[in-house]
């Protein structure tokens, strides 16, 4: 976490075209979502979420609908790609070119899936650079985020992230479904592995290189019990909380209810905020008295602990700047006011 | 997991010589095992499984007995080696030379333990290459698998696996007992650590480089309770299921009952197969109707999810090709037939 | 774990200056601790444990008090540093220079926090080398240990440890509080993440490079229940046991009671020692009969298993050599005698 927080609590993919009378239905629905249903990043999906024979229509839907709505967050279309298949890379290049040509001002970057080792990520970055140059955009104005979902990308993750230190690479997004298929992981009835080592490494490398890190989709949307089908809120929340603990910046949403949950979980809870604001207030008091480490509520607090409390406050300030409706709804007025007025510098 | 599955559900070590009247007893017993007791890979063990003063006899037992039996799987003798002791490397070189000279046609490769960093793995590969050339075998015809059981091999795992992309290196096998000793890990009464980070990395690097990955031995073979000694089936199954979830191709067996368990667990269960075959059938139907992602039994299914179902089916097909007796015994006829006839291409 | 064990069961930081009448109170208290309260490594802390306006006094306290006491373990002052702030590095350089100039004979090395990538660790090592040369000490006589607490240090951990193979770098110490702040990890009410991937990697890389590895501080010192405040012995023990299982050499202590616990947990328990001594005795017997692998108490035991039992015994011997009062207090005479007389060579 840095002082300049790039907010991405939610990375919501919406199929760019679906076989319905209005093929842009889900895309427009996401573009017009309000309150906690509006994702921080909206991803019009021309890849796996859209059927092979509707991808061209998905591209047109994206080009047509994105400019028509004043979406309050970032727009990151997902194109096709494959480290192991030149045909998919050609499709991706054409989609990137079209998107930059037509709506380069409206998008923050593109999401490229199924990248392989570092050289393939460089290749994807070059495809964006070419479109950018071709259509007269400043170098680096169109970002690149990648889905980490192959053994090769995981193997090169450190070098890929370091490439992001001074390039357009912006975000690392986990793709557990393809990843599990590549590794031959099994669901023995209790779901796929969580791939904890990968998540921890992704959080670390993103942090070391100043990138955004985002968890993977949760596809068990519904459960059935005793004849009733219901939305699986619990297990999704478990996953998002796990990602939040590990320092991922945000979570993937496939569905408006998931967006509400991920937006909320990636905000400090009122209890967490009260706890950390209170500790900052008391630690500031101790500092004025010249004390190094102090014990607050049984916890030994020093400069390092202090930074964790500051993170909580800065996250709330960043959300408040972008989406004040959410902070005002979620926290009571007095706590929010104390948060916004807090003295955060240590010395 | 790739389309060309190299079957190694079980990596069974058998001591090449034991202090009994018939010193080849366990080796012959493994060479003649039938049904689910026959391992996919049989490893005549001239290293830790055989006493120091019987290793020469173990080599002779291997040379004499392997050609006499028509073992249905692969044969991978384990020789001596040590990254930190030239004397053991000399012993290993001599054993490799003798094995290739005498039964080079009968073995698929050799297993080299206690390798260190990449350069030591290269050294082991060169020892095999020399024996191969000396005795007139084609380059690459004798494979190499290594036991990952030192801090150095774990540290260089990514580079070692990449070396395997275009070399005779075939398999990465975990050696938790030596590994725990090297790191100074402790058993505080509840067993050694599982080394989850290493297992996940091994599955990933093997997948990225197209290698086979195999879990480590489980040595708590028997338990005692209320005066009774019984085979510890439960804990071994727990370990093998954990390895299967993480995408390891197979598990190490020390004992015929373990071989039965590992062979079985690395086959999809009938429930798992029914679940995935049924989802492929229904997803194929949805594809014909031009749908990208669909919801099946509450799960959102797209191309990525589809690949996981295909893995289940391809594993059954691969086992059926090598060991049709096992698939015919484990699945009912109708399910096996649906499996073998399934349309697996996505587009 | 190597044959030459460098004992560091406990890495106790003591604030070098506190706002009390006797500002060296805690430092002197640690320097004079006895029995299980005496840490193996004592770390006079001029960094986060001492308030910004007292750091100069902390340095003087260290220079004055360390030579006055015959501390039985190692002395490793922690200085200031930051990979991202030259001002802190200048402070650190000045502190290192002063410490080496004044008490270079009394300290074993310095602890440098908040290092970044490999080049920053090299920079810290050079700062020590300069002070060493300036004040006439032999090259390498003053060691360096680092706190691993940034995304960059974790990212370069393998290369940093390899640098330690032939340099003054001696120890890798985890700093979870700063680390969690850097990654933006969250405490959702059940504590910070344990960062298991990092701990496992640290144990591995330290082992591969022959370094010492030490866990991070546990700051939830006290708990409250029903009006009572009590020392949180249970959770600290859980953390230290977890670190011991993973093969870390020692644990961080913030408090004398923690030192007692960590010193004790990093000794084999009497049950563990009895178990492993007994298995060595029986395995030695089997070796004399020419057996490779044998089954003892249901466990298959071979040369690799044997090494783990030897580790238990060697740790006790190393502690006995440094702190015979502790071994004599903790183990009964007969068990300790069997331990010290054991035949440990395998062949």
- The tens digit of pLDDT for each residue in A149-178 reads 999 999 999 999 999 999 999 999 999 999
The pLDDT assigned to B56 comes to 96
Average pLDDT of C31-54?
Answer: 95
Would you state the pLDDT for residue B346? 56
Neighboring chain A residues of B316 at a CB cutoff of 8 Å: none
Name the residue facing C292 among B15, B150, B197 (closest C-beta). B15
Burial class (CB within 10 angstroms; exposed 0-12, middle 13-18, buried 19+) of A160:
buried
Instruction: Please list every residue in chain B whose beta carbon sits closer than 8 Å to the beta carbon of residue A197.
Output: 196-197, 200-201
Q: Cβ neighbours of residue B208 under 8 Å, at least 6 residues apart? A: A150, A151, A152, A154, A155, B161, B162
Q: Is A221 on the interface with B (CB under 8 A)?
A: yes
Out of A185, A217, A222, whose CB is closest to B245? A185
**B291/A181 Cβ within 8 A:** no
Tell whether B183 is within 8 A of chain C (Cβ): yes
Range C144-169 average pLDDT: 98
- Establish how many alpha carbons lie within 13 A of residue A38's alpha carbon, considering only the half-sphere containing its beta carbon: 19
Residues of chain A contacting residue C182, judged by C-beta atoms under 8 Å apart:
1, 207
CB contact under 8 A, C201 and B196: no
Q: What whole-number distance in Å separates Cα of residue C324 and Cα of residue B175?
A: 35
d(CA C219, CA C235): 10
Which of B161, B205, B307 has the CB atom closest to A181's CB atom? Answer: B307
Q: Which residue of C has its CA nearest to A160?
A: C155
**Interface A-C: count of C-beta contacts within 8 A:** 130
Nearest CA in chain B to A154: B204
Query: Which of B185, B235, B236 to probe by mutation at the C interface, max C CB count within 10 Å?
Result: B185
pLDDT of residue A300: 85
Residues A223-234: tens digit of each pLDDT? 998 889 999 999
A259 vs B302 pLDDT, higher one: A259
At B1, the pLDDT band (50, 70, 90 cuts) reads very low
Q: What is the pLDDT of residue A288?
A: 80
pLDDT of residue C346: 56
Q: What is the pLDDT of residue B2?
A: 40
Q: Which of B161, B200, B311 sits opposite A181 (nearest CB)?
A: B311
Average pLDDT over residues C268-272: 96
C192–chain A nearest CA distance, Å: 7
Q: For residues A156 and B248, what is the distance between their CA atoms, to the nearest angstrom? A: 20
Taking phi over 0 as left and psi of -120 to 50 as alpha, with beta for the rest, B260 belongs to: alpha
Within 10 Å of residue C233's Cβ, how many Cβ atoms? Answer: 13
Average pLDDT for A118-131 = 98
Q: CB–CB of A18 and B292 under 8 A? A: yes
How distant is the alpha carbon of residue A248 from its chain centre? 8
- Whether B146 shows a pLDDT value over 60: the answer reads yes
Residue B176 contacts residue B151 (beta carbons within 8 Å): no
Residue of B nearest to A17 (CA): B292
CA distance C114 to C130: 20
The C-alpha of C188 sits at a distance from chain A's nearest C-alpha, in angstroms, of 7
A17-23 own/partner pairs: CB under 8 Å, 24+ apart: A17/A50, A17/A51, A17/A54, A17/A55, A17/A57, A17/A58, A17/A61, A17/B292, A18/A50, A18/A54, A18/B291, A18/B292, A19/A51, A19/A54, A19/B289, A19/B290, A19/B291, A23/A54, A23/A57, A23/A58, A23/A61
**Residues making up chain B, counted from first to last:** 347
User: Measured between alpha carbons, how far is B177 from B198 in angstroms, rounded to an integer?
Assistant: 13
CB contact under 8 A, C300 and B254: yes
Reply yes or no on whether the pLDDT at C36 is more than 60: yes
**Closest alpha carbon within chain C to A300:** C219
Please check whether residue B66 is in contact with residue B103, taking contact to mean a CB–CB distance below 8 angstroms.
Answer: yes
Q: Quick check: B298 and A232 CB within 8 A?
A: yes
SS3 percent helix, strand, coil of chain A, rounded to 5, is: 50, 15, 35
As a whole number, the mean pLDDT across chain A is 95
Lowest mean pLDDT among A277-286, B191-200, C56-65: A277-286
> Would you state the structure tokens that stand for residue A196, as one six-digit string?
């904890």
Task: Determine, for residues A181 and B302 on separate chains, whether the beta-carbon distance falls below 8 Å.
Answer: no
Which C-chain residues 285-314 have CB contacts (< 8 A) with chain B?
Answer: 287, 289-293, 295, 297-305, 307-308, 310-312
Pairing of strands B294-296, B299-301: antiparallel
Query: In the prediction, which pLDDT does A223 show?
Result: 93
The three-class DSSP label of residue A70 is coil
Q: Which residue of B162, B271, B347 is in closest CB contact with A52?
A: B347
* pLDDT tens per residue across span C308-335: 999 999 999 999 999 999 999 999 999 9
Subunits with 3+ C-beta pairs closer than 8 A to C: A, B
Each residue's pLDDT tens digit, C6-21:
999 999 999 999 999 9
Centre a 10 Å sphere on the Cβ of residue B184 and count the other Cβ atoms it contains: 23
ipTM score: 0.95
CA distance B100 to B108: 10
Determine whether the interchain pair A222/B289 forms a contact, defined as Cβ–Cβ distance below 8 Å: no
Contact B128, B94 (CB under 8 A): no
Task: For residue C114, list chain A residues with Cβ-Cβ distance below 8 A.
Answer: none
Answer yes or no: is pLDDT of B125 > 60.
Answer: yes
CB atoms within 10 A of CB A189: 9
When pLDDT is cut at 50, 70 and 90, the band that residue C347 belongs to is low
- According to DSSP H, which parts of A135-213 are helical? 151-155, 157-163, 176-183, 196-209
C-alpha C137/C-alpha C107 separation (Å) is: 12
pLDDT of residue C284: 86
Decide if C279 touches A, using CB distance below 8 A: no
Mutation target for A interface from B264, B274, B292, B311: give the one with most A CBs within 10 A: B292
pLDDT in tens, C114-123: 999 999 999 9
Measured CA to CA, the distance from residue B58 to residue C254 in angstroms comes to: 55
Q: What percent of chain C has pLDDT over 70?
A: 98
Radius of gyration from C-alpha coordinates of chain B: 21
Write out the residue limits of the CATH 3.20.20.60 domain(s) in chain B: 10-265
Determine the pLDDT at residue B347. 54
**Helical (H) or strand (E) element with A44:** strand A41-45
Is any Cβ of chain A less than 8 angstroms from the Cβ of C115? no
> Each residue of C204-225: pLDDT tens digit?
999 999 999 999 999 999 999 8
Query: Where do we find the tokens 């260290």?
Result: C62
Contact residues for B161 (Cβ-Cβ < 8 A; gap 6+): A155, B169, B172, B205, B206, B208, B209, B211
Q: To the nearest whole angstrom, how far is the Cα of B296 from the nearest Cα of chain A? A: 9
Confidence of residue C295 (pLDDT cuts 50, 70, 90): confident
**Dihedrals φ, ψ of A114, to 5°?**
50, 35
State how far the Cα of A7 lies from the Cα of A214, in Å rounded to an integer: 11
B87 inside 8 A of chain C by CB: no
The more confident residue out of A53 and A197 is A197
CATH class of the A10-265 domain in this structure: alpha beta
Q: Given CB atoms, is B221 within the 8 Å cutoff of chain C?
A: yes
Banded pLDDT at C294 (limits 50, 70, 90): confident
Q: What is the mean pLDDT of chain B?
A: 95
**Is A56 near chain B, with CB under 8 Å?**
no
**Could you tell me the two tokens for B204?**
């990933």
Q: Positive or negative, the Cα torsion across C2, C6, C7, C8?
A: negative
User: What digits encode the pLDDT tens for the residues B230-268?
Assistant: 999 999 999 999 999 999 999 999 999 999 999 999 999
- Give the whole-angstrom CA distance, residue B113 versus residue B124: 10
Neighbour tally for A39: CB within 10 Å? 29
pLDDT of residue B343: 82
Q: Contact C49/A249, CB-based, under 8 Å?
A: no
- Is B119's Cβ below 8 Å from some Cβ in C? no
Q: How many CB atoms lie within 10 A of CB C309?
A: 25
pLDDT of residue A3: 52
Distance CA A218, CA A254 (A): 8
Indicate the angle between helix axes C55-65 and C86-103, nearest 10 degrees: 20
Whether residue B147 has pLDDT greater than 50 = yes
Contact B81, B114 (CB under 8 A): yes
Summarize pLDDT for B30-55 with one digit per residue, the tens.
Answer: 999 999 999 999 999 999 999 888 99
Going by pLDDT thresholds of 50, 70 and 90, the confidence category of residue A346 is low
Q: What is the pLDDT of residue C1?
A: 39
Question: Using a CB-CB distance cutoff of 8 angstroms, which residues of chain C are in contact with residue A249?
Answer: 184
Q: Are strands C169-174 and B41-45 parallel, antiparallel or unpaired?
A: unpaired
């Amino acid at each position: 976490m840095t002082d300049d927080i790039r907010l991405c609590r939610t990375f919501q993919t919406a199929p760019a075209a679906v076989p319905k009378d209005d093929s842009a239905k889900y895309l427009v629905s996401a573009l017009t979502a309000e309150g906690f249903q509006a994702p921080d990043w909206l991803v019009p999906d021309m890849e796996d979420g859209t059927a092979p024979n509707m991808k061209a229509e998905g591209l047109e839907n994206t080009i047509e609908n994105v400019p028509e709505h004043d979406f309050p967050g970032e727009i990151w279309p997902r194109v096709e790609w494959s480290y192991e298949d030149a045909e998919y890379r050609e499709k991706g290049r054409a989609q990137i070119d079209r998107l930059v040509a037509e709506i380069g001002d409206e998008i923050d970057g593109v999401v490229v899936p199924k990248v392989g080792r570092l050289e393939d990520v460089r290749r994807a970055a070059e495809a964006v650079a070419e479109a950018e140059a071709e259509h007269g955009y400043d170098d680096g104005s169109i970002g690149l985020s990648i889905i980490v979902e192959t053994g090769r990308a995981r193997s090169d993750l450190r070098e890929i992230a370091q490439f992001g230190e001074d390039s357009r690479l912006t975000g690392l997004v986990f793709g557990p479904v393809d990843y599990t298929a590549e590794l031959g992981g099994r669901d023995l009835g209790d779901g796929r592995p969580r791939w904890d080592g990968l998540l921890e490494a992704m959080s670390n490398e993103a942090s070391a290189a100043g990138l955004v890190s985002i968890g993977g989709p949760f596809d068990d949307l519904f459960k059935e019990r005793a004849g009733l089908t219901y939305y699986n809120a619990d297990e999704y929340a478990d996953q998002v909380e796990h990602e939040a603990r590990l320092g991922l910046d945000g979570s993937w949403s496939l569905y408006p209810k998931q967006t509400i949950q991920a937006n909320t979980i990636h905000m400090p809870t009122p209890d967490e905020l009260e706890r950390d604001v209170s500790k900052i207030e008391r630690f500031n008091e101790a500092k004025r008295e010249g004390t190094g480490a102090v014990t607050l509520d049984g916890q030994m607090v020093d400069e390092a602990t202090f930074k964790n409390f500051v993170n909580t406050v800065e996250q709330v300030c960043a959300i408040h700047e972008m989406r004040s409706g959410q902070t005002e709804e979620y926290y009571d007025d007095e706590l929010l006011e104390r948060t916004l007025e807090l003295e955060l510098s240590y010395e």
